[in-house]
C-alpha cells in the first residue's frame, strides 16, 4: 500500500449512514513499515459522539427494532455480517498490517479470520441460548427470568488487534440485542472502512453499529456519556484504571481487558527442538512483534538446563525474519508507532542498565532504514524484580529468568502484578496441567497458546476485570430481570 492507494474518508459512520463530521479535525494514519501517511479519516468530536450515542439509543429503543427481534433473526444478521467480513478478509488484513506492522501472514489468519469466527460463534449462540425461562416461585406462583439486552454499549479497542478485539465486543453485544458505539484507536482507524462496508452490506439496521474514531479524550467522553449503559474496554492497565474509576462513580457495568506480563514456564523435561515447537513457541512469545497482551515474555528456565534454554531462545530470535509487514515472508514487523518503538528501546536500555545479559537483538535492524523496527531481543540472567520482568514492554523482548525447582517456577510466575496468559512447556501434558492449575492467570496454554472463541478470555489482578468470549460473555451485555407472577 502506498500513498497512491491511500484511504481517505470524509464522513463518519453514524446512524447507518456516512454523515459529515462536526469539525474539520482529522486523524492521519502512517504505515508502521514505511512511516508514510496511508490514509486519513475525520476525528470524532464530542458532538459526533453525542450523535452516535443518540443513534444507538434510538435504534435500541425502536419497538420493532434490533433489541426486540427474535434472537434467531439477529443471528441471521450476524451470519450475514460474518460472510461480508470474510469476503473482505484480505482487504482488512492488508490495511491492519500496513497500519500497525502486524505481519501480513498473521493478519490474514487473525484479523481476517478471527472476527469472522467470533461473529459466527455468537450468531450460533443466539440461536441456542436461553433468553427467558420460568420456574416455580419458591413461595408460590411462578418466576420468569428474562435476559434482556443491557442497552447502548460503548466499546473501546486498542491498535494491536483492532478488528479482533472490536469483534470480542460487538459480536456478543449484538447477539444479546444491544446497540453499540465503537471507538477504534487512532493508529488503526482505516480498517473501520471495510468493516462499515460489511455492516452495510449485511443489512445491519441503522444505528445498531456506530463508529467514532478518536483518541483518549473522546474515549473518556464516550465512557462517561449519560446515554451509554455498558462499557467494554481493551487497552493498557493505566487507561483501564481510569475507565474503571469513571464507571465506578457512575455505577456503570464495565469489562476491562488490560495488559500482561505472562510467564512461559519451561519445565526440565521440555522438548525444545525448534523444528517441532517453533511455530507454537512463536505464537506464545513473539506473535505480532511482541505487541500481544497474552504473550509469555518472561521465560522461566530450569537451572539444570539454563544455558541450553538461553541458547534456544537466542537461536530462535536470530532466526526470525524482520521486514516490511506486507511481505509474506516477514515474521517480525515494525512497532505500531514511533512512540511504541521509543518505549521498547527504552526498556532494552533499561534491561542492559539493570545488569541483564543481552544475548540477541537489542537494536534496530541494520538493513531497514525506515519503519519503526526493533530486532527480536532476548535477555538472559534476568531477575524477576527488574523492570524488564515486571513491566509490560509490548515489543519483541523476552527475559529468560532462572529457577531451581518447580515450586520456585510457580512462585516466580505468580510474582507479578498481571495475570492474563502464560504457557507451560513440557513433554508430560499432565505435569504441565498440574503446573498450569497453580498459576494465577485468566488463561494459560500447555505447549501452545491459542485463544478459543468458545471459552472465556481475560485476566486477573492488573490484567483486568471480567471475561470476553465464550457463552458467558453474552451476559456482559444482558440485564437480568425476574418477573414474579
Ligand atoms: P491504550 O490504553 O493507550 O489505548 C487503548 C484504547 O483506549 C485506545 O482506543 C485509546 O484511544 C483508548 N483510551 C486510552 N485512554 C483512555 C481513557 N482514559 N478513556 C477512554 N479511552 C481511552 O492502550 P494501547 O497502547 O493502545 O494498547 C496496548 C495495550 O492494550 C497494552 O497494554 C495491551 O496489553 C493491552 N491489550 C490487552 C488485551 C487484553 O485482552 N487483555 C488485548 C490487547 C491489548
The grid coordinates listed for 193 are 472502512
Q: What is the pLDDT of residue 6?
A: 82
| Residue of 96, 236, 451 to test ligand 1 pocket, by largest number of atoms within 8 Å of CB | 236
Q: Which atom number of ligand 1 is nearest to the Cα of residue 235?
A: 30
Q: Angle at which helices 274-285 and 306-319 pack, to 10 degrees?
A: 80
Distance CA 130, CA 475 (A): 11
For cell 505500531, name the residue.
Answer: 336
Q: Which atom number of ligand 1 is nearest to the Cα of residue 184?
A: 9
Would the CA dihedral through 226, 227, 232, 238 be positive or negative?
negative
For cell 508502521, name the residue.
Answer: 32
Distance CA 42, CA 442 (A): 37
Listed by start position, the domains of the chain span: 7-258+463-484, 263-446
Check: CB of residue 395 under 8 Å from CB of residue 291: yes
Q: Which atom number of ligand 1 is nearest to the Cα of residue 464?
A: 41
Distance CA 193, CA 161 (A): 16
**What is the residue-wise DSSP string for 89-149?**
HHHHHHHHHHHH---HHHHHHTTTTHHHHHHHHHHHHHHHS-SEEEEE-TTSSEEEEEEEE
Nearest CA to ligand 1 atom 39: 257
Q: What is the pLDDT of residue 2?
A: 47
Distance 397 CA to ligand 1 centre (A): 20
Distance CA 13, CA 206 (A): 10
Single out the residue of 455, 482, 432 nearest to residue 134, CA to CA: 482
| Run means of pLDDT, 10 residues per run, the chain, 485 residues | 71 98 98 97 98 99 98 98 98 98 98 98 98 97 98 98 98 98 98 98 98 98 98 98 98 98 98 97 98 98 98 98 98 98 98 98 96 98 98 98 98 98 98 98 98 98 98 98 98
Q: What is the pLDDT of residue 3?
A: 42
Q: Domain 263-446 is classified in which CATH homologous superfamily?
A: Aldehyde Dehydrogenase; Chain A, domain 2 (3.40.309.10)
Single out the residue of 305, 393, 398, 391 nearest to residue 357, CA to CA: 398
Nearest CA to ligand 1 atom 36: 235
Distance CA 208, CA 199 (A): 10
The CATH T-level fold of domain 7-258+463-484 is Aldehyde Dehydrogenase; Chain A, domain 1 (3.40.605)
Report angle CA 364, 2, 216 to the nearest 5 degrees: 70
For cell 530486532, name the residue.
Answer: 375
Single out the residue of 228, 246, 264, 231 nearest to residue 468, CA to CA: 231
pTM: 0.97
E strands, 343-437, are: 357-360, 377-380, 397-403, 423-425
Single out the residue of 296, 339, 458, 299 nearest to residue 35, CA to CA: 339
Backbone phi, psi, residue 312, to 5°: -65, -45
Distance CA 432, CA 267 (A): 8
Single out the residue of 80, 117, 91, 103 nearest to residue 32, CA to CA: 103
Buried/exposed 447-457: b ≥16 CB within 10 Å, e otherwise = bebebebeeeb
Distance CA 250, CA 258 (A): 21
Q: Which atom number of ligand 1 is nearest to the Cα of residue 222?
A: 20
Ligand 1 lining (C-beta closer than 6 Å): 156-160, 165, 183, 185, 215-216, 219-220, 223, 234-236, 239, 242-243, 257-260, 293, 392, 394, 420, 459, 463-464
Report angle CA 347, 348, 354 to the nearest 5 degrees: 85
Q: What is the pLDDT of residue 379?
A: 98
Check: CB of residue 413 under 8 Å from CB of residue 403: no
Q: How many other CB atoms are found less than 10 A from the CB of residue 294?
A: 26
- Residues annotated catalytic, as ranges: 257
Amino acid at each position: 500500500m502506498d500513498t497512491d492507494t491511500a484511504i481517505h474518508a470524509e464522513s463518519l459512520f453514524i446512524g447507518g449512514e456516512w454523515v459529515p463530521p462536526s469539525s474539520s479535525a482529522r486523524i492521519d494514519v502512517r504505515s508502521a513499515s514505511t512511516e508514510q501517511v496511508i490514509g486519513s479519516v475525520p476525528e470524532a468530536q464530542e458532538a459526533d459522539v453525542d450523535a452516535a450515542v443518540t443513534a444507538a439509543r434510538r435504534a435500541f429503543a425502536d419497538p420493532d427494532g434490533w433489541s426486540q427481534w427474535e434472537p434467531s433473526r439477529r443471528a441471521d444478521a450476524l451470519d450475514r455480517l460474518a460472510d461480508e467480513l470474510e469476503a473482505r478478509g484480505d482487504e482488512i488484513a492488508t490495511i491492519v498490517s500496513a497500519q500497525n506492522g502486524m505481519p501480513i501472514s498473521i493478519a490474514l489468519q487473525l484479523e481476517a479470520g478471527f472476527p469472522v469466527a467470533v461473529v459466527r460463534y455468537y450468531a450460533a449462540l443466539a440461536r441456542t441460548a436461553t433468553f427467558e425461562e420460568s420456574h416455580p416461585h419458591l413461595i408460590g406462583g411462578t418466576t420468569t427470568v428474562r435476559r434482556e439486552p443491557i442497552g447502548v454499549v460503548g466499546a473501546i479497542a486498542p491498535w494491536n488487534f483492532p478488528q479482533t478485539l472490536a469483534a470480542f465486543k460487538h459480536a456478543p453485544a449484538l447477539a444479546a440485542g444491544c446497540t453499540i458505539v465503537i471507538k477504534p484507536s487512532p493508529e488503526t482507524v482505516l480498517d473501520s472502512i471495510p468493516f462499515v462496508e460489511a455492516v452495510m452490506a449485511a443489512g445491519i439496521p441503522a444505528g445498531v453499529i456506530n463508529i467514532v474514531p478518536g483518541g483518549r479524550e473522546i474515549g473518556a467522553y464516550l465512557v462517561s456519556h449519560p446515554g451509554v449503559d455498558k462499557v467494554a474496554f481493551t487497552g493498557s492497565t493505566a487507561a483501564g484504571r481510569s475507565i474503571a474509576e469513571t464507571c465506578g462513580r457512575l455505577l456503570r457495568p464495565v469489562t476491562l481487558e488490560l495488559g500482561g506480563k505472562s510467564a512461559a514456564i519451561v519445565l526440565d523435561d521440555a522438548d525444545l527442538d525448534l523444528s517441532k515447537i517453533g511455530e507454537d513457541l512463536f505464537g506464545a512469545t513473539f506473535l505480532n512483534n511482541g505487541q500481544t497482551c497474552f504473550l509469555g515474555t518472561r521465560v522461566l528456565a530450569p537451572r539444570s538446563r539454563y544455558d541450553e534454554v538461553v541458547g534456544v531462545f537466542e537461536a530462535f530470535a536470530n532466526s526470525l525474519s524482520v521486514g516490511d509487514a506486507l511481505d509474506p515472508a516477514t515474521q517480525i514487523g515494525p512497532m505500531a508507532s514511533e512512540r511504541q518503538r521509543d518505549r521498547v528501546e527504552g526498556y532494552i536500555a533499561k534491561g542492559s542498565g539493570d545488569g541483564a545479559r543481552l544475548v540477541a537483538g537489542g537494536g534496530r535492524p541494520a538493513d531497514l532504514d525506515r519503519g519503526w523496527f526493533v530486532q527480536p531481543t532476548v535477555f538472559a540472567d534476568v531477575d524477576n524484580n527488574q523492570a524488564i520482568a515486571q513491566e509490560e514492554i509490548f515489543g519483541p523482548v523476552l527475559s529468560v529468568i532462572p529457577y531451581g525447582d518447580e515450586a520456585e517456577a510457580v512462585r516466580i510466575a505468580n510474582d507479578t502484578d498481571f495475570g492474563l496468559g502464560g504457557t507451560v512447556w513440557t513433554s508430560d501434558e499432565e505435569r504441565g496441567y498440574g503446573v498450569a492449575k497453580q498459576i494465577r492467570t485468566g488463561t494459560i496454554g500447555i505447549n501452545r497458546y491459542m485463544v478459543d472463541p468458545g471459552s472465556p478470555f481475560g485476566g486477573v489482578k492488573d490484567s483486568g476485570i471480567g471475561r470476553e468470549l465464550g457463552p458467558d460473555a453474552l451476559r456482559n451485555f444482558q440485564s437480568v430481570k425476574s418477573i414474579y407472577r
